């Protein structure tokens, strides 16, 4: 199959180039608002670390919510099922920054990928490690092989200046005893986490453990096969905000998007894919990214269904 990845990627890039209407970049984070929606990159990483790419596949971009997959895996690796006492596994059906469900569900977020759930996971990782964002960065550097991968201070500052909703979520959950870190410390860790810059190649490589059923690039075990299955399952049902059903219908893979325009997707036992294009649809997912992954699974036949 690997010999066919590059022609498939080249074909997808040509089709995307000819497609009008790429959406709009995230404008509620000023540091992301000026991004060109016509930019595009895509990479496929095989299980052995071989990477194929097209377009701007080596261009770093703001990972944003994609990092939630990695913090979830790192927290699960350290505390197993105890994590699920603090966050659920169900699709929310509401926008990623919604406060609506928290009150009548007693401060327990629906899943780890909405903002409230991601704050809980980052809080757990902070409690376990003392430096959640640093632990995440070290993991991404090791798995991607990129020692320069790091935080973007401009994006972090921009998010900090417009983070009232996340602060409200964190304080509200703290009132129910579901946040243990001081809220300002948690928000700093969460913002740093979301500000990490990485390329399609970096992220495809870093997510490889999910295609290898929990095995890291160096052959060590991060997650059991069952735990890796759990992460992939939550990605499938909750990974693209309130468009997860449409994404599963079109793409047929576990995926996680970010408002920086990136999406990672996993083909268990085969490969991982990352695509980036900053133009978003009304639900916060990359327009060209979803279209490219749709074409990828159609052209290769690689899907979990």
Burial class of residue 22 (count of CB atoms within 10 Å of its CB; 0-12, 13-18, 19+): buried
The residues annotated with a catalytic role in the active site are 65, 68, 190, 241, 259
Q: Which of 195, 191, 194 is CA-nearest to residue 152?
A: 195
Segments in the chain below pLDDT 70: 1-3, 95-97
CB atoms within 10 A of CB 249: 11
Gap between the Cα atoms of 193 and 86, Å rounded:
20
pLDDT on residue 293: 98
pLDDT on residue 1: 44
pLDDT on residue 142: 98
This prediction's pTM: 0.96
Q: Which helix (H) or strand (E) holds 41?
A: strand 41-46
The answer to whether residues 140 and 70 touch, using CB atoms and an 8 Å cutoff, is yes
pLDDT (tens digit per residue) in 263-288: 999 999 999 999 999 999 999 999 99
Task: Tell me the β-bridge partners of 55.
Answer: 41
N residues, the chain: 305
Please report, for residues 18, 261, 278, the alpha-carbon distance to residue 12 in angstroms, rounded to integers and kept in the order given: 10, 17, 17
Phi, psi of 87 (to 5 degrees): -150, 145
Q: Where are the beta strands (DSSP E) in 77-214?
A: 150-151, 196-198
Which residue's structure tokens are 């997860």? 244
């Amino acid at each position: 199959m690997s010999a066919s990845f590059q022609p498939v990627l080249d074909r997808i890039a040509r089709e995307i180039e000819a497609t009008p209407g790429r959406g709009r970049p995230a404008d509620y984070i000023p540091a992301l608002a000026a991004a060109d929606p016509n930019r595009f990159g895509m990479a496929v990483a095989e299980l052995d670390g071989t990477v194929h790419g097209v377009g701007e596949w080596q261009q770093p971009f703001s990972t944003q919510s994609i990092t939630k997959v990695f913090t979830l895996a790192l927290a699960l690796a350290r505390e197993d099922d105890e994590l699920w006492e603090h966050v659920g596994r169900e699709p929310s059906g509401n926008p990623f920054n919604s406060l609506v469900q928290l009150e009548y569900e007693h401060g327990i977020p629906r899943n780890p990928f909405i903002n409230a759930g991601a704050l809980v996971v980052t809080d757990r990782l902070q409690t376990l490690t003392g430096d959640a964002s640093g632990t995440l960065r070290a993991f991404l550097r090791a798995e991607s092989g990129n020692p320069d991968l790091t935080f973007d201070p401009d994006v972090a500052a921009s998010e900090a200046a417009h983070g009232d909703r996340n602060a409200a979520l964190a304080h509200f959950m703290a009132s129910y005893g579901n946040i243990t870190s001081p809220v300002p410390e948690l928000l700093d860790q969460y913002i740093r986490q979301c500000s990490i810059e990485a390329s399609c190649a970096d992220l495809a490589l870093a997510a490889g453990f999910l295609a290898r059923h929990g095995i890291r690039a160096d052959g060590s075990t991060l997650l059991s096969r069952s735990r890796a299955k759990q992460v992939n399952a939550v990605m499938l049902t909750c990974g693209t905000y309130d468009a997860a059903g449409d994404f599963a219908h079109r793409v047929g893979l576990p995926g996680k998007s970010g408002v920086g325009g990136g999406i990672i997707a996993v083909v268990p036992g085969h490969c991982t894919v990352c695509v980036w294009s900053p133009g978003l649809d009304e639900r916060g997912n990359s327009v060209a990214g979803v279209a490219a992954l749709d074409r990828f699974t159609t052209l290769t036949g690689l899907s979990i269904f």
